[in-house]
A = this chain, B = another copy of it.
C-alpha cells in the first residue's frame, strides 16, 4: 500500500462514503462555505490544488468555480481529531464563495429580537455569475 492510498484510507468516511468539509479563507480566516467530499473529490483536490466537492443534490463531482470561475486554490488541507472532518484553507478566487453572490455562505446572523438577519451584501448578481440557472446551491 503506498502513501497515496494510506492517507485516503485514514479518513473515516461516513456510511455514504462522504466527509464534511469546511472551506476557510487562508488569509482572513473567514469561514466561507461547508460542503462534502467523497474519496475521489478529496484525492482530486489534493492532487490538483483546487477544491473539488461531491454535490449531494446533483450526485456528481463538483469542481467549485466550474461555472462561476470562482475556484478555490488550496493552501492547506487539515483533518480533525476523529478523522471525520476536513478543513480546507483556501484562496477564494473572485472573493465570492456563495452561490448568492456573497463573500461567504454564512451571511445570516441570529438576533434574539428578530431571528435570522442577512448581514452581508451581495457582491455580484448571481444572474451575472451563472449563465444557466441563476445560481443554485450545489450542496
Contacts and interface: CB of A to CB of B under 8 A. Distances in A.
Contact of A108 (B46, B78, B107, B116): B78
Given A10-B116, A46-B110, A137 B87 contact: no
A61 interface: no
How many copies of this chain does one complex carry?
2
Interface of A: 3, 6-7, 10, 20, 22, 24, 28-31, 33-34, 46, 76-85, 87, 98-100, 102, 105-110, 112-116, 137, 139
A85 to B, nearest CB: 4
Contacts of A102: 81
A22 B29 contact: no
Query: Residue among A30, A80, A83, A107 with the most chain B CB within 10 A?
Result: A80
